[in-house]
Structure 1
Amino acid sequence: MRLLHRWPACFAIMFTLKVTAQQLPDANQFVTAPFLHMRERSWPFPANGATDPQALLWPAVAGKNTRYLVRYSQDSLFPAGRTQQSDTLPWAMYALHAPLQSGKWYWQYASRAQDKDAWAWSPLRSFYIADPTITPTLPQMMEKARKPHPRLWNMQAQLNTFRSDNRNDAEATALLRSADKLINAPLAEEKPTRPRDTTGMTAQQQEKMIEFMYHGFGEKVAQPIRQLCTAYWLNGDNRYATEAVRRAMHLASLDLSGFGTRDDFNNGNVMEGMAWAYDMAYDRLTTAQRDALQQAILRRGSGIYRNLVNRFELQLCDNHVWQHILRNFSIAAVALAHDAPPANQWLQYAYEVWSARFPVLGSTDGGWHEGNGYFRVHFVSLAYLSLLFGDLSGVDYFATPWMQNLPYYLLYSYPPGSASVAMGDMHENLSTTARTPAVFAEALSRKVNNPYFNWYVHTIQQQFPDYFRRDKDFALFRLLVKETGQPKVVSPAALPASRTFPDVGLTMMHSHIDDTRKDLMASLSANPFGSSGHGHASQNAFNINYGGKLIFGGSGFYSNFSDAHNLLHYRSSRAYCTILADSLGQRIGENGYGWMPRHIAGKRIQYTLGDASNAYGAVTAPFWLGHLELNQLQPDRQNGFGDPGVTRYRRHMLMLDSNIIVLYDELAAKQPIKWTWQAHSPYTIRQGNGNMFTINEPGVKAGVYVYAHTQLNTVVHQRFNAPAINWKGKTDDDGNIVPFTEQWHCGVTTTPQQQARLLTVMQVGPPNAATLAVTQQNGEWHIGPWHIIAELDDSKAPLLYIFNDDQSTALHYGSGNFRQGQHKYQHSTVLTENGQSTEAIDVLPSIIKTR
């Protein structure tokens, strides 16, 4: 293909200096680490000069009753008088609560597995302090926790204010009416909350089904106690306190090993329910009642604590604990602190792990690595633990960078009335705004003063008013955190049309972020966390929504955390709009990762770059090998797993104006292989001439063209790689059985090549929009006002050059006789709009800078 044969006039004015590629530093960065985040901590943090770490963290040391020490100093020799050292620790973390002087610090940890062992000190590491977050030390926090009951939500101190502020509150009145119906009502029997027939199931399926059938029992019996406690705090009516205690004593009598409460979620909820009643009614409990509740809470909490310490703090994310159990455990610890000695250590552990690890699946950008399907399961804990630990520490956790950026993540990835970006477990359940994200957003808006987020909440309230009338999860939060004045509401139309969240590897683009009905929403995902937990092997996968509906994106159904459909389709790369290499998908596990090197938000062009070069290879994660074995599946070629030898997979994604998406893929492997471009849709895909296919439905029209330098073979079908069977009888948010319907899949495959380039041009819009033909002539593609020059010949250097008819806007990446006074890097991306240029080079993930 020729080099650029003409340049827009806007470039000609600016070109004052010719700089050859050989004189320029390379804008490309290449990551070769086998993983960026591990399932269990395997290296000490901070290292390599990280700045303002929240905590000192290190790998666990095996052995019975392992203990640790930490020391840190601004002198690498750790002299007496200038060194701070911890007490003996039973866990592998040390939060930096006390203020430290600015500058460089050195630190070490020591361990011993038996009391007779000598302390073994680690090598020296360093970090920097510039602007640290200061929080109370453990002794200071424990003293703050020495409050009279009720101490949850700081209620003893603010009880009078709580009552006066809510005296005429409509939601408080409704809560009291509902609590009246609980007085002397029959106690819940320990039986399945959703009965199912297990006839014909395998032993493993029956075990999973029993857990599924009793799921929610703990919430069912704990929620009334929380409601009764809140009602008592609202008006002091003794009937509510008496009923809460009656129900709590019933929970104290339940068998820990019974089907109803042995599950970790149910166990945690039962413990929390008893803790609420214990704390609220402490002064009115008899000695026998107090002892019975204490012992019942301690029996359940002690097992949780043993499972946490020297394990949980090391995990990338133990989802069940972060979703629910840490909240249950922390509430119980606060309620019993200084009353029962074991609870003191519980509270210290919970406070330390919160201080050291929050937010566990994000960093500062506001994103959540597993996607929004399972993000919503964390919302209640994120809100209430931020309040709980805020009361104990005096720290406003809603003012942290991650919390301040969270509104933008929700706004860009899950607009009002729209399907969410389709990635991660349970993404298919978010075809429009769901109740929990809606009420969480409203609660968050009370603590995060963001006018664009206020617009987000206001719009959702208008579209889904019923969500807020029947919500119980955040009722207490709203009663505790009152709105002050009329919130300022500003349309997000003034925001950039795209935003990147590099910590979780997601870039979102919008044509009309303020109006879902007209919005073309596109995303690209390249996740540094890999496909861990509830995340999927979806590196460099794109998603396309139009008018709030998913057009192209993740396919399949969350039938179970791991069954044949989940492992061979839904969780795998086969289910996503990414590339299969020699018919093989990406690794399942933390080592199948990607990252987002570049992003530019322009006026008429949005641009991002994802790198999935490290995503491919054999499945080696023991966790996922174990799940494959449980399902009698092999991680072999037949099932789509193996090492195709991929060495490069970079995907450039652009949105042009409001209706055109362009992809440019750079692919390379150790040997010639087939490369398969994939798209998935709930709508009928119709194959057209050559490598073109369309969607034409009542609400949307899409045309997709895929080009390469080689012959392409296109296949359209409706087959999942393993059948989707709703064997659990899973339901949607309204209790309706979810039909696992067929979906459409398209694969466009090259002939075997060691290197390949693919160009994709998509037009997506309403059915009545004019169809813009894509024409190709002399190595140049035209669509509407746009000209695209893309080098597809793998024997030549990569090149992508796009400009419009009036030559006011252009984007250049890669090779060519590119001359520009401000151009400082080889292989950078330069966007020029109306004479103003922005250059993007690779920016490494933050985890690389700090690990």
Structure 2
Amino acid sequence: MKKTKLIYHTFLNRFFLLTIIFASISFYGQNAKIINGSEKTIKKHSIYDNTLEAPVPQGMVDENSPWLHFRIPLNKNELGHRLYYFKLSQDSTFTKDVIRSKAKRWSFFNPYSVLKKGNWYWQYGYTLDTTPADIKWSNDKYSFVITGNERVVVPPTPDEVIKRISSTKAPHVVLLKDEIGNLLPSSQPEIKEGILNNYKKLLNIRPEVKVVVDESTYPNLLKEDYENKKFRFFQLSTLKQFKGFANRIESLLKAYLLTGNEEYKRIGLEDFYKLDNEFHTVMMEYGKHPGYPDDFVLEAHIKLMTLILDAFSEDLNKEWKTKIVNLLFKYKKEGYLNFYKQLEFSEHIAYKAHLWQAGVQTLLMSAIVLSPYKEEAQLWLEYAYELWLYRNPAGSRNDGGWHGGNGYFGTNERQLLYTPWVMSKLMGYDYFNHPWYRNVAKYLSYSNPVGNPGLAFGDGNGTDGAGHYNLVEALAHIHADNYWNKWRLKTTGRIDKKWFINKVGENEAPWSLLSVWNTNKLDPDFIKVDQPKELSALFRDIGYVGMHTDLVNPSKNLLLNFRSCPFGQLNHAHPAQNAFNIAYGGEPLFWRTGHYNSIDKHKVYSFKHSRAHNTILANGFGQSTDISGYGWVPRFVTGRKISYTVGDASNAYSGIYRVQSSKKSYLEKEGISVTEANGYGNPEVTRFRRHIAMLRPNHIIVYDELEAKEPIHWTFKLNAQDNMEQIGDNKLSTSNAHARANAQLLCENTVETMVTDKFFSGSALDWRGRQGNGAKNYPNQWHGSFTTTDKLKSTRFLTIIEILPNGEEVSTKVDVIQTKNFTVAEVGDYKVKVELDPNRPSFIEIVSNDETCALVSGQNAKKVELGKNIKTAKLIGNTLFMEKSDTGKIDFFEQSDILPDVLKFGNKY
């Protein structure tokens, strides 16, 4: 093992990142992709740059016109004083037909025009605003190619947006002027009546606007704990109260906009003035920096001030209008995720959750509202608008997925719907016309089908996932011809009326729906849309595969979720590359474990660690909690009986771990130690390719290829939330109310099987009271492991998982035969043949007993046979798949490794 090196450093002055580097420095400079026959091996520190390292785009692009982007690290005191320039031409000497940018404060640029076919060359320049004539142009010229096959994207320019705002009367954000009094949904009388009844209750019940800090509410189980946790407890308590008042005020003001009743406006503004006092007194005591409240408190207040200045400026006296303008300006210039904190940061980093949950949206919306009052806000508007155009939706590229998992995907619904809808109305341009928006309903249909547990590869409770009901319904209206929008809406049903009525006044997503309903018609035949033809789908940008047996009836559905993500582990994502989860009947079976809480020992050791997921521990070490701990999905084929994919997590064990906390002392007091003994280290893994197949109706096959530089222990992790037992040598079993799942692992080497219902971190303390008053600990969960007895440089695992639905006659026979060269298993209606000797080329063959489908894959795949039909591989090692249709036609598919688009196209985002 490499000697560990411990480094502490700060990040954004908000977190300490505890970073342990186990990898050698020589690893980081390797950026080449090495192609070996059918397989492609990515030799990069990370697929996405944590911070942009080289100018983009270069090479092929898939949109026209692409964004040009570079980064020059700032010197001291240069933030906000840099000027950037771009020139772009099909003439490499830049002497004719040159597109030139104006001086920009940020280093990304779009020409906002359709570029002609051919090679395009570009350069960048930069200087300081104190010496504007002294432009330093890049020595290198960069180039990309326009083929004519790119997606054409030419949105309105920032100047056009500013002109529209200045030439029209407010409001521009919460709604447009001609929408005032016209958004109550007459076509849905039940919702209309419910909204009006709720608003009447706001007039009848008027609580005192006062945030209370009650020491007696501090839980008894935490009485002996230290001040950090107590501070956090009351920080959350006061935040909840403040947001409750803010939501009520927002509802009152929006009630006026819908009804015209002056009483709502009068009470809403009066209560805002009182809440503003609480903001400047009590809430300041629970901020992270002097003179500023908690980040989420600040965002809630900014949201209210933006609403009032946008739609009620004429109702404010001069003193209050000046105060709101100045406060809003101050906080967007100096406060949480303000312009100067985003500039030279947001555009360059791969992803930051709070930026895209609220930061970019609130800066853009506030700048729209402030721009008529403050000239500097026009600069913010230009930046935020272009940043949003360039990087939205941020959680993926084009496939509709979300790299952080579905647990926190839902927190982004507001900005994913509200922002493009506000801009679409304002500018008369369809900002939803993007591949991601065309695919998101498809992604949700496979990752979180109705009645099934959702994805469990990130923060969140691991079973619900994200419905995105507002977004889906809006898209079904806006793009009514999209099949997946109609299918998703058919399966989820129209928006829940009770929820909508209760949330429309405080949540931008349902508020947006009122306007969508008013301007876009739903295809009345959406309910007649047929179910999807395919039971499995790949979303390559985020490395997710969803496999099912029944997308219509959750009580009969066998669900397999698989993840190997090019983004690595960022923010709310987990170190869960090549991990899978299995459910049946709408309930988990072999599933991720752990409970989500603010940072504590349980979260670090037993929740946000690879041991909580169904993946591989290498020498007891988890995968890296860093962008460098990435995976990807090289292959995917699917048919009626067999669905198959390959994940490559060979680079997931880079040995870099980041544990966030407000203070280093907090980690020490929690007893958190990121050491090899606790499962953190660099095992120097060189190969982890996982083949995984669903054999319908009742089996799943997992075939692992594992290699490291030095001999290590290899552990196949298998977890369950409710129960698990060992039922034989290398056999584990779990069950839910609908089925039992049995797993059997085969390996040429001796393997030790263990089961425990104890978390690695010990008991999981529910110190935030998520389970209700009086609850002390979360329930224990179950953790199984198959670990090689000896340390090995390489090994192979074959794991056969059978799912036995209650009350059904299912073939449970799994016979294993060891032949001279292969291990052969009779698995229900299939014969599975694999090579378990790690010294031989890998090989897996699956053939149905009725000879209707066959699959061959692995390094030694040469041909596939189905009865008398034989197909030879064009390239040894390709995946070969044959399936016979009901008419007797033979369908054949052949596939070698396919790289994710981020490595094929120069426009990363």
TM > 0.5 between the two? yes
Match of 2:89 in 1: 74
Q: 2:294 aligned with 1:263, yes or no?
A: yes
* Maintained 8 Å contact 1:39/1:532: no
Q: Choose the corresponding residue for 1:119, options 135, 152, 163.
A: 135
* Maintained 8 Å contact 2:636/2:646: yes
Q: 2:273 aligned with 1:211, yes or no?
A: no
Match of 2:489 in 1: 457
Shift of 1:187: 4.7
Q: 2:757 aligned with 1:718, yes or no?
A: yes
* Maintained 8 Å contact 1:423/1:535: yes
* SS state at 1:278 partner: helix
Shift of 1:767: 2.2
User: In structure 2, do the counterparts of structure 1 residues 187 and 463 end up closer, same or farther at CA, with 3 Å as the change threshold?
Assistant: closer
User: In structure 2, do the counterparts of structure 1 residues 696 and 231 end up closer, same or farther at CA, with 3 Å as the change threshold?
Assistant: closer
Match of 2:576 in 1: 538
Q: Distance in 2 between matches of 1:626 and 1:850?
A: 40
User: In structure 2, do the counterparts of structure 1 residues 284 and 584 end up closer, same or farther at CA, with 3 Å as the change threshold?
Assistant: closer
Q: Choose the corresponding residue for 1:805, options 849, 853, 856.
A: 849
Equivalent residues in 2 for 1:28-47, closer than 5 Å: 28-47=39-58
Shift of 1:418: 1.7
Q: Distance in 1 between matches of 2:637 and 2:365?
A: 44
Amino acid at match of 1:152: V
Q: Distance in 1 between matches of 2:786 and 2:324?
A: 63
* Maintained 8 Å contact 1:545/1:551: yes
Amino acid at match of 1:353: L
Shift of 1:581: 1.0
Match of 2:418 in 1: 384
Match of 1:49 in 2: 60
Shift of 1:465: 6.4
Q: 2:173 aligned with 1:152, yes or no?
A: yes
User: In structure 2, do the counterparts of structure 1 residues 800 and 738 end up closer, same or farther at CA, with 3 Å as the change threshold?
Assistant: farther
Q: Choose the corresponding residue for 1:752, options 791, 795, 798.
A: 791
Amino acid at match of 2:488: Y
Q: Distance in 1 between matches of 2:492 and 2:768?
A: 30
Q: Which consecutive residues of structure 1, in runs of 5 or more, have no partner in the other structure?
A: 1-23
User: In structure 2, do the counterparts of structure 1 residues 93 and 736 end up closer, same or farther at CA, with 3 Å as the change threshold?
Assistant: farther
User: In structure 2, do the counterparts of structure 1 residues 568 and 106 end up closer, same or farther at CA, with 3 Å as the change threshold?
Assistant: same
Q: Deviations over 1:338-376 (max 9, x none)?
A: 122232222222211101101111000000000011111
* Maintained 8 Å contact 2:862/2:878: no
Shift of 1:155: 1.3
Match of 2:248 in 1: 224
Q: Deviations over 1:417-451 (max 9, x none)?
A: 221021101143xx3477x6344433443334344
Shift of 1:666: 0.7
Equivalent residues in 2 for 1:201-600, closer than 5 Å: 201-253=225-277, 254-255=279-280, 257-259=284-286, 262-303=293-334, 304-428=338-462, 431-432=463-464, 437-449=468-480, 450-461=482-493, 466-472=498-504, 473=507, 474-482=509-517, 483-484=521-522, 486-490=524-528, 493-560=531-598, 562-600=599-637
Q: 2:820 aligned with 1:776, yes or no?
A: no
Q: Deviations over 1:208-236 (max 9, x none)?
A: 33432233445323323332333222232
RMSD (CA atoms): 2.9
Shift of 1:615: 0.5
Q: Distance in 2 between matches of 1:627 and 1:547?
A: 45
* Maintained 8 Å contact 1:505/1:527: yes
Higher relative contact order (CA closer than 8 Å, sequence separation 6+): 1
* SS state at 1:65 partner: coil
* Maintained 8 Å contact 2:733/2:741: yes
Greater displacement, 538-547 / 233-242? 233-242
Amino acid at match of 2:593: S
Equivalent residues in 2 for 1:735-746, closer than 5 Å: 740-746=778-784
Shift of 1:491: 5.8
Amino acid at match of 2:252: L
Q: Distance in 1 between matches of 2:763 and 2:100?
A: 56
* Maintained 8 Å contact 1:512/1:518: yes
Q: Distance in 2 between matches of 1:847 and 1:34?
A: 14
Match of 1:59 in 2: 71
Amino acid at match of 2:527: V
Q: Distance in 2 between matches of 1:232 and 1:424?
A: 40
User: In structure 2, do the counterparts of structure 1 residues 826 and 82 end up closer, same or farther at CA, with 3 Å as the change threshold?
Assistant: same
* SS state at 2:785 partner: strand
* Maintained 8 Å contact 1:665/1:757: yes
Shift of 1:729: 2.0
Q: Distance in 2 between matches of 1:263 and 1:541?
A: 36
* Maintained 8 Å contact 2:650/2:689: yes
* Maintained 8 Å contact 1:192/1:217: no
Q: Choose the corresponding residue for 1:645, options 684, 692, 705.
A: 684
* Maintained 8 Å contact 1:425/1:535: yes
Amino acid at match of 1:801: E
Q: Which consecutive residues of structure 2, in runs of 5 or more, have no partner in the other structure?
A: 1-34, 865-869, 885-889
Amino acid at match of 1:27: S
Greater displacement, 189-198 / 357-366? 189-198
Q: Distance in 1 between matches of 2:248 and 2:317?
A: 22
User: In structure 2, do the counterparts of structure 1 residues 160 and 286 end up closer, same or farther at CA, with 3 Å as the change threshold?
Assistant: same
Q: Distance in 2 between matches of 1:206 and 1:645?
A: 41
Q: Distance in 2 between matches of 1:622 and 1:210?
A: 23
Q: Distance in 1 between matches of 2:660 and 2:718?
A: 29
Q: Distance in 2 between matches of 1:565 and 1:219?
A: 28
Amino acid at match of 2:863: F
Q: Distance in 1 between matches of 2:485 and 2:781?
A: 34
Q: Distance in 1 between matches of 2:242 and 2:373?
A: 25
* Maintained 8 Å contact 1:521/1:546: yes
Q: Distance in 2 between matches of 1:193 and 1:335?
A: 37
* Maintained 8 Å contact 1:525/1:542: yes
Q: Choose the corresponding residue for 1:829, options 873, 879, 896.
A: 879
* SS state at 2:795 partner: strand
| Percentage of identical aligned residues | 25
Greater displacement, 238-247 / 628-637? 628-637
Q: Choose the corresponding residue for 2:829, options 770, 777, 785.
A: 785
Q: Choose the corresponding residue for 2:704, options 648, 661, 665.
A: 665
The number of equivalent residue pairs is 822
Shift of 1:720: 1.4
* SS state at 1:391 partner: helix
Match of 2:806 in 1: 767
User: In structure 2, do the counterparts of structure 1 residues 59 and 206 end up closer, same or farther at CA, with 3 Å as the change threshold?
Assistant: farther
Greater displacement, 816-825 / 551-560? 816-825
Q: Deviations over 1:668-704 (max 9, x none)?
A: 1112222111100013211122111222443221111
* Maintained 8 Å contact 2:691/2:703: yes
Greater displacement, 807-816 / 642-651? 807-816
Shift of 1:709: 1.0
Match of 2:19 in 1: none
Q: Deviations over 1:682-735 (max 9, x none)?
A: 132111221112224432211111101111111111121213533432427x99
TM-score, normalised by the number of residues in structure 2: 0.85
User: In structure 2, do the counterparts of structure 1 residues 589 and 25 end up closer, same or farther at CA, with 3 Å as the change threshold?
Assistant: closer
Q: Deviations over 1:644-663 (max 9, x none)?
A: 11100000010011211001
* Maintained 8 Å contact 1:230/1:476: no
Greater displacement, 513-522 / 119-128? 119-128
Shift of 1:492: 6.0
Greater displacement, 773-782 / 490-499? 490-499
Q: Deviations over 1:265-314 (max 9, x none)?
A: 21112111122122222333333332222122222222222322222222
Shift of 1:166: 4.1
Q: Distance in 2 between matches of 1:193 and 1:527?
A: 44
* Maintained 8 Å contact 1:498/1:508: yes
Amino acid at match of 2:837: D
